[in-house]
Amino acid sequence: MTEKKRRWAMVIDLRKCVGCNACTVSCKIENNVPEGVYRTWVKEIEKGDYPQVTRFRLPRLCNHCDNAPCLAACPVQATYRTEDGAILIDYDHCIGCKYCMAACPYDARFINPVRKTAEKCTFCYHRVEEGLLPACVTTCVGGARVFGNINDPESLVAKLVANNPVQVLKPEMNTQPYVFYIGADQNIMGARYDNLEKGEQ
């Protein structure tokens, strides 16, 4: 069998996520992310009525999609894809038009208020290039986050995806995400539209 090209991917086993937000914090420190904006965060919901009630969590980050809408939207090719599938931003060329932020179905992007360009999770590409794991993965207390080359059948991500029922966010958008979830509840995976205006004022 010919060796397939390397493709970085992440699997998040939600059965192991305790919602401690260590990933959120380590990402902020590792990537110097300013106050108020997040490259990764943990969404949390409560489902059911007492006493039948459970909390569910969903760590969120850029999905490094194979068919990335942000890549198509960027008018100055500041958003690009590396050979191993990560979607990155060239901060020296981003003009800050924010069109990518409108295009991303996952709310993954934000404007860095200090640098004044678009920004998002890079899979800690600077670490990965050096043979390290992304900061959120190394710090994940429960070992929920797993990172690796999904095209290497011996890698843990490939095994997890092969041997578990996995989900991706908004598959109907045809974005082909490379962040896979195990055990995600459908009520937390997208938006909730049943009572949109309760938060107003």
Q: Which residues bind other proteins (CB under 8 A)?
A: 19, 38, 41-49, 55, 60, 69, 71-78, 93-99, 101-107, 110-111, 116-118, 173-174, 187, 190-200
Give me the residues paired with residue 55 across strands: 46
By beta-carbon proximity to other proteins, the closer residue of 163 and 195 is: 195
- Alpha carbon of 65 to those of 14, 148, 176: distances in Å? 20, 15, 5
Sign of CA dihedral 151, 148, 33, 129: negative
Give me the residues paired with residue 119 across strands: 110
By beta-carbon proximity to other proteins, the closer residue of 3 and 35 is: 35
d(CA 60, CA 12): 10
Q: How far is the CB of 191 from other proteins (least distance, A)?
A: 4
Q: How far is the CB of 41 from other proteins (least distance, A)?
A: 5
Q: How far is the CB of 167 from other proteins (least distance, A)?
A: 15
Q: How far is the CB of 68 from other proteins (least distance, A)?
A: 10
By beta-carbon proximity to other proteins, the closer residue of 160 and 169 is: 169
Q: How far is the CB of 50 from other proteins (least distance, A)?
A: 10
Q: Are 58 and 170 in contact (CB under 8 A)?
A: no
Sign of CA dihedral 140, 29, 166, 159: negative
By beta-carbon proximity to other proteins, the closer residue of 113 and 153 is: 113
Q: Six-digit token pair at 7?
A: 């493709």
By beta-carbon proximity to other proteins, the closer residue of 105 and 148 is: 105
Number of C-alpha atoms within 13 angstroms, CB side, residue 29?
A: 9
